[in-house]
Structure 1
Amino acid sequence: MEIFSIARKFMKETGNPSQWSEDYPDKNLLLDDICHGDSYVCISGEEIVATFVLREGKDPTYNIIYDGEWTNDNPYATIHRIASCGKTKGIFLHVMQYAIRHYDTVRIDTHRDNKPMQHVINKAGFRYCGIIHCWNGDERLAYQYDK
């Protein structure tokens, strides 16, 4: 929860105040991620410095895409809820290295105002595919990476 609090603060400071509300993600969602078996942490020394979800299978919010299209319909995994405590640089690249060791196709989405995330997504080789709508109706920019 502390890492998500730090991530929300960073988002606000970098021009993205509305992607995650003060209560997102809540404890129940994080416990669901853990129980689902796809919640991960990144460790530096003995300290947890980041967390993310890497979920295999179709994401229902990706069924409809606007103003573009997915690069293919291959099976994929999705990165969700990536957050860092800010102490370690390059977390996203470590997450990607892990993801592509296990999956040939990876998808991710982010808020239009989340410029730092868009930068690392593009730097990691993702292709912008279009716009999706989250479970709550919010718009997100959608990307796909293919090996």
Structure 2
Amino acid sequence: MSELQEYEKAARWFRHATDEDYDTIASVYSYARLKMIQGGNPRQWGTKYPLPERIHEDIDGRHTILLVDDAADIPAPSPDVPYDPPVLRERRGEHERVIGIFSVFHDPDPDYKVIDGDWLDDLPYTTIHRVASSGLARHAAADLLTWSKKTFGNVRCDTGLKNHAMQHILESQGFTRCGNIIMPENDEIENVRVAYQWNGRTLVPSAPSRLAERRLVHA
């Protein structure tokens, strides 16, 4: 069996991050900051966010979840092989690589109390923050959002005013743009963010977006 055939059967899965993952997580966030700067969005994360103490706090609180696969031993895996939708499996792969990161919080987010707009509802929700892709595999952000919707049901998040790529992914995944929120003042990063919510009762995306979503999950 060829390496490509082997890779076609490789799975993606989620697991909680541990202290052993710190260096990898920091590297992925560094890559994400660079991509934001190159994409004309230099002030969402600046050059330092998230700081090391924030990364450690997320890990210690079991907030950080990694999207991984077992394809690190394949020299040039195909970017478009089909795979099953990832689920939470608390294990490390023999040839694991991290392809996506995000942090999950179930308590009300204090920065979401005031919004220039309207949230979809006032029900309990889960917040996802610090979404980042390592650039090693495609559709990582879409997988994170798909799993979050299925797992938590009512999900809120925010992104930068100039982060048009993430805005597109969120809207393709059926998230509703609810307005703007104000983050705490920071000299290096912008404090106005675009707020999104998905609660399972929003309108489904248009036909092209549904097709894009199927490709994100299965392509």
Runs of 4+ in structure 1 over 4 Å off: none
Match of 1:43 in 2: 68
Structure 2 residue runs of 5 or longer lacking an equivalent are 1-25, 71-95, 201-219
3-state DSSP of counterpart to 2:108: coil
Which structure's CA Rg is the greater one?
A: 2
Match of 1:114 in 2: 163
Match of 1:97 in 2: 146
Question: Which amino acid is 1:58 matched to?
Answer: P
Judge conservation of contact 2:120–2:178 (CA < 8 Å) in 1.
yes
Deviates more, 1:114-123 or 1:91-100: 91-100
Structure 1 residue runs of 5 or longer lacking an equivalent are none
Q: Deviations over 1:108-143 (max 9, x none)?
A: 101111011111011110001011011337100101
Residue 141 of structure 1, aligned match among 194, 198, 208: 194
Cα drift, residue 102 of structure 1: 2.3
Q: RMSD of the alignment, in Å?
A: 1.1
Question: Which amino acid is 2:158 matched to?
Answer: D
Q: Deviations over 1:73-120 (max 9, x none)?
A: 011111100111112111122112221232121001011110111110
Match of 1:54 in 2: 104
Match of 1:126 in 2: 175
Question: Which amino acid is 1:2 matched to?
Answer: S
Judge conservation of contact 2:100–2:141 (CA < 8 Å) in 1.
no
3-state DSSP of counterpart to 1:93: helix
Supply the distance in 2 between the matched residues of 1:101 and 1:136 (Cα, whole angstroms).
Answer: 33
Cα drift, residue 146 of structure 1: 0.9
Q: Which has the higher strand share?
A: 1
TM-score, length of structure 1 as denominator length: 0.95
TM-score, length of structure 2 as denominator length: 0.64
Judge conservation of contact 2:132–2:141 (CA < 8 Å) in 1.
no
Cα drift, residue 26 of structure 1: 1.1
Deviates more, 1:97-106 or 1:9-18: 97-106
Identity among equivalent pairs (%) = 33
